[in-house]
Amino acid sequence: MVTGITLIPEDVVITPSQGNVRAVRTGPKTIAFQDPDLVIQRTLPDGKVIQIRNLFISREPAIDRLKYDFDRNRIVDTFGTTVGTKHIGLPTAGRVVDYKTLTATWSPLTTDPRKYIPAANEEVVERVVFMNREGKLVTEHTSYGLGRKYDRSKTGWWWAGKAKEALGIEPGEKVTTKELQRAVVHREFVVKRLTPRS
């Protein structure tokens, strides 16, 4: 018998996603997101085969499936359930992503980004959720570089460009900052920390 090898379950899609999302309350102040259409067949390491429905999906793809309901002045899921803006931000516990040789830890920046001095293995990431004229939400990120401080003057063009794109404003068309702000649903700063994977 071979030891020391972790067997990964094998998944086969039975019913593909239709791009819908369901917001599910998982605690007094927490919401998670499910794909209500996707059905997969999973073969476990011991050979057992199970079907899984209503899979939980991560926040990033879930946000792209949410819509802004202009009549109710609320962000809603596919089924009309209200999703507060705090639930489209990075969770306070952060997020960890493992790559081949590195681990990336994403943590909300709770201080003024102008005063934060990142370490050599850290970068400040600006994360903005924009809304277009049809109410579709789109998440965009920009980084200030490993070990570099936040400098709004270097990325103001990025923010303005994404806001114009969301609002459908033609290149060269003049628009005020206040008008561009209408496209912003949520804005936050995150610290991304890279460490060798153990």
- Residues above pLDDT 90, as percent of the chain: 53
Whether 77 maps to a domain, the answer reads no
Measure the CA angle with vertex 193, ends 153 and 117; round to 5°: 45
Whether 48 maps to a domain, the answer reads yes
Asked if the model's pLDDT at residue 67 lies above 60, the reply is: yes
Same domain flag for 121 and 61: no
Same domain flag for 38 and 103: no
- Residue 56 tokens read as 């939980």
Same domain flag for 102 and 195: yes
Distance CA(42)–CA(12), nearest Å, equals: 6
Distance CA(193)–CA(11), nearest Å, equals: 31
Same domain flag for 9 and 106: no
Same domain flag for 144 and 193: yes
Same domain flag for 112 and 59: no
Whether 80 maps to a domain, the answer reads no
Same domain flag for 122 and 195: yes
- Per residue in 153-184, pLDDT (tens digit) is 877 888 888 899 888 888 778 888 888 898 99
Which pLDDT does position 91 carry in this prediction?
81
Whether 45 maps to a domain, the answer reads yes
Evaluate if pTM is beyond 0.75. Answer: yes
Whether 98 maps to a domain, the answer reads yes
> What's the domain range around 94?
89-198
Sign of the dihedral through C-alpha 143, 149, 152, 157 = negative
- Per residue in 108-158, pLDDT (tens digit) is 998 999 999 999 999 999 999 999 889 999 899 999 889 999 988 877 888
Q: What single letter denotes the amino acid at residue 18?
A: Q
Which pLDDT does position 1 carry in this prediction?
41
Same domain flag for 161 and 101: yes
How far is residue 139 from each of residues 47, 50, 93, 175, 192, measured CA to CA in Å? 39, 33, 19, 22, 16
Same domain flag for 44 and 96: no
Number of domains in the chain: 2
Whether 105 maps to a domain, the answer reads yes
Which pLDDT does position 107 carry in this prediction?
92
**Residue 83: closest CA among 20, 140, 24, 166:** 24
